Structure 1
């Protein structure tokens, strides 16, 4: 089972990543921009940014680790259940989310 601490450890390898808060919940930021947030809402999960096409593919896969709520409809982000997520795929999604928020100089 992956924990928020595991997510933080994975993100520590990414340049200029810092632990912070976002909407009063634990978060990760790059250059002041949030790219991962641990949700406290009833559905839980971690919010990561991705393309709409990737979001659709993850949801269509039927993998129970990936889900969304109406709040995120039409938005390029996916919710990830850490208890069900494959660590390798989670790392890829975390990197993609970081890339979407990092300044060009870091890419």
Structure 2
């Protein structure tokens, strides 16, 4: 049995399934937030993320929070679609393009989004969620 590939709609389904998550905005762009802190953010095209094939700014970049630099380095070094740019040096987040979500399984995406939520949500809320899971 093959695991289902992740889709764009999975991001909202997963994020909104976590405690106290709302759809919101961050820097004027769509985001998923927990207690006013974004953990998944749809990024505007920027000069630091250029498509190597077209030379155009990437217009489908998603920012996903990570707990720390070790998690960031592990995801970027993995075989997955995660990447970073110099703009994000020292910032606890990884990037992924919408077009590359299918390189992940839904389960892999769920794990990364849940970890992102846990990195931004209050510690008591995170503990309660994982105790009940």
Q: Which residue of 1 aligns with 2:7?
A: 2
Q: Which residue of 2 aligns with 1:25?
A: 29
Q: Deviations over 1:28-60 (max 9, x none)?
A: 000111111011223332111112112112222
State the secondary structure of the residue aligned to 2:23.
Answer: strand
Distance 1:35 1:59 in 2: 17
**RMSD value, Cα:** 1.5
Structure 1: 5+ residue stretches without partners: none
Distance 2:83 2:99 in 1: 13
Question: 2:64 matched to 1:48?
Answer: yes
CA contact (8 A) 1:2 1:83 kept: no
TM-score (norm 2): 0.72
Structure 2: 5+ residue stretches without partners: 1-5, 46-56, 127-133
Shift of 1:75: 1.5
Tell which deviates more after alignment, 78-87 or 88-97. Answer: 78-87
Q: How many aligned positions are there?
A: 105
Q: Return the structure number with greater strand share.
A: 1
- Larger Rg over CA atoms: 2
Moved over 6 A (4+): none
